[in-house]
Chain A
């Protein structure tokens, strides 16, 4: 028997079916799917049984019922008589607001601190290192608490507000700013702004074409700036300044009028900015360092000015490294904005997963709706950054 089997092997017959990788792959996958299916069925079965035992309803009917609770801050009209779906929108907008503020400010702070690492001044260089290493290594929640409970809670009360030119007031209840109100004719200014943006776009295209064809360079940046600022200012003046400012005023114990920025929003935005700014600074530093020194030397040897070297040689190549990192930092900023719930800023998480879930008990629907929102926001960011990367950052030789 042993002889026979070894001789058949020697003749090079097909291996046993269970050694065929394709058959094995199919077998493993069937096994995997079966295990997964069993797992999911058990979970779903348990969940349904548990929910029935606890008397939890299922489905999305709750969205149209009245929520019955107030929300601290809302960008759209809202009061306790609105539905749970409205609480979802209010929370969503507040999340988008704090994320947008955080992304813009963190990018500015991050780029300044990242470039500061290459300053000729030793103190500035060290300041950049100290900033990055300090704030990157302290938990974000702790920073949120620090700004909210230690810094903003130490501000004076409304009567003793910090006052800047009787227009800006800062006190324990928040930051009060003057609010521009439109008068008839404001529309013209908005139209002028839109025209300026479109005009700049066409001008930049024209300038680029001209340079490609004739080699002459126009002062693109200055002219664009002139169009962007000049047209709206001109329109404003021509229309006789169709705006007036509504100043916040102290009435009784509190300020009325103007724009109010609640301390929860301030603390969260400051903490997100400083924390994410440290990571962005690190990304910027890594990006600039990733450009080989030979690039600078080659640029100098063909006679480019230092400012041109930065703009034409270093930045485009550094952006290749920076943009993907920025993408993930922005996404983690959006995810980290859920920490709002720790200080009570009414973002999607606080309002919807916090209060609405507590009142309705419909954990599965609410949690999945919320997660879907964060996925959608992050995919939008990812899409924009990838587009930006293709258009601007990835300058490849054709």
Chain B
């Protein structure tokens, strides 16, 4: 394949011309190769593949039949569930209590408005103009729980008063989690700062607080909130049940966040402090403008993981008699018109709702982790 050309001087130079590449063998490209590599790379592997496929073939069709094809969707009473499949009528009938608890139907727009505010605020970094973000965002976030309370309660705005006994459903899980995360994060930062402080008294107080709220089962904390906290207030004061829960959840979150921040602090190089000192920044300027943003950035995956944990833990509130989503589901299951044993449907519904929320948060955390990971592994 080498051409011979005759140069000007009569010398012969040989130019190398590669022959066109052969197509890769069928066995190493495309679907065939993928199958061979991933499913049938050896006799053991092939056996496993066949076994798993056989298992799926036997399990999935009945499951799909139950979930979709034989399921009942129309109607509004238990008698309408005639097929062998799932009774989604149950979920349809109980959907509003599951999502909103016993909040009055004509005032549901207030719950929805609060939810829109919540998600709008969480998404504000994407729609706020850049120069406003740092100034407005934090203030908006911190004000959000109180604004939501004012809207939901309604007395200050001249709307119908809805007592906290009527708040419930999945919306309550969302609000309680959001409100305690929003307040727990700055509080936890304060505790983490205290733990790093040179002052022995401040340090030991913060260590005790952090370890107490991390080491105690959250259920015990809730019990303390409902059994012991009322004893701490002056005689005759009646503190709202949800407020007590909110306090407990916030402190719980703060304890876990403090530990997360501790990991973040460890990742900040000493040079950052020295540079800030060299610029003449004060302690709080250094902490809030130089260190805090970096700590938050480094510990973002763990912050989100902790937030997911707290959000899942709000279901524990049913044990102390708060009408959150799981407790509403249990109530519906013992309703005398719906005693047909729909527990699988109810739990599946709550599980899916929760899973969607938690999985999206975990995915964001994993995404951030990948983005921040600059090591060269695997």
Partner-B contacts on A (CB < 8 A):
25, 28-29, 32-33, 36, 43, 46-47, 49-51, 53, 120-124, 127, 133-134, 136-142, 145-146, 149-150, 153-154, 289-293, 335-336, 338-339, 341-342, 349, 353, 357, 363-364, 367, 370-371, 374-375, 378
Whether B315 and A139, one on each chain, are in contact in the complex, defined by CB atoms closer than 8 angstroms, is yes
- Asked if A363 and B228 make an inter-chain contact with CB atoms under 8 angstroms apart, the answer reads yes
Given pairs A140-B312, A153-B343, A335-B218, 18 additional interface contacts (CB within 8 A)? A25-B199, A32-B199, A46-B233, A49-B235, A120-B38, A120-B41, A120-B42, A121-B48, A121-B49, A133-B359, A134-B355, A137-B312, A139-B326, A142-B347, A149-B343, A149-B347, A367-B220, A367-B228
- Cβ-based interface call for B128 (8 A): no
25 contacts between A and B (CB under 8 A): A32-B201, A33-B201, A50-B230, A120-B41, A121-B38, A121-B52, A124-B52, A137-B355, A137-B359, A138-B312, A139-B315, A141-B316, A142-B315, A142-B351, A146-B351, A150-B344, A292-B377, A339-B219, A349-B217, A367-B227, A371-B216, A371-B217, A371-B220, A374-B217, A378-B215
Kindly report which residue of chain A lies nearest to residue B311, judged by CB atoms: A139
* Complex Cα gap A356–B344 (Å): 33
Interface of B is mostly: helix
Assess the B231–A51 pair: CB atoms within 8 A: yes
Are B319 and A367 within 8 A (Cβ)? no
Residue B16 at the chain A interface, CB threshold 8 Å = no
Contact A123 B219 (CB under 8 A): no
A364 and B228 within 8 A (CB): yes
- 8 closest A-B pairs (Cβ-Cβ)? A122-B38, A137-B358, A335-B217, A139-B312, A29-B201, A139-B315, A338-B219, A150-B343
State whether A43 touches B232 (Cβ < 8 A): yes
Interface residues of B (CB under 8 A from A): 38-39, 41-42, 45, 48-49, 52-53, 198-202, 205, 215-220, 223-224, 227-228, 230-235, 308, 312-313, 315-316, 318-319, 326, 330, 333, 341, 343-344, 347, 350-351, 354-355, 358-359, 362, 375-378
Interfacial chain B residues near A291, Cβ < 8 Å: 377
Instruction: Assess the B219–A341 pair: CB atoms within 8 A.
Output: yes
| Assembled-state Cα–Cα distance A150/B343 (Å) | 6
Q: How far is the CA of A28 from the CA of B130 in the complex (A)?
A: 38
Q: How far is the CB of B222 from chain A (nearest CB, A)?
A: 10
Q: How far is the CB of B377 from chain A (nearest CB, A)?
A: 5
CB-based nearest A residue for B201: A29
A123 to B313, CA, bound (A): 32
Main SS of chain A's interface residues?
helix
When distances are taken between beta carbons in the complex, the residues of chain B under 8 Å from A141 are 315-316, 318-319, 326
Residues of A within 8 A of B199 (CB): 25, 28-29, 32
Query: A133: which B residues are within 8 A, CB to CB?
Result: 359, 362
Q: Is the CB of A353 within 8 A of B220?
A: yes
A141 CA / B317 CA spacing, docked (Å): 10
Residues on the B chain within 8 Å of A149, using CB: 333, 343, 347
- Point out the residues of chain A lying under 8 angstroms from B378, CB to CB: 289, 292-293
Are B326 and A142 in contact, with the CB atoms below 8 A? yes
Residue of A nearest to B375 (CB): A292
Contact of B347 among A150, A289, A335, A370 (CB under 8 A): A150
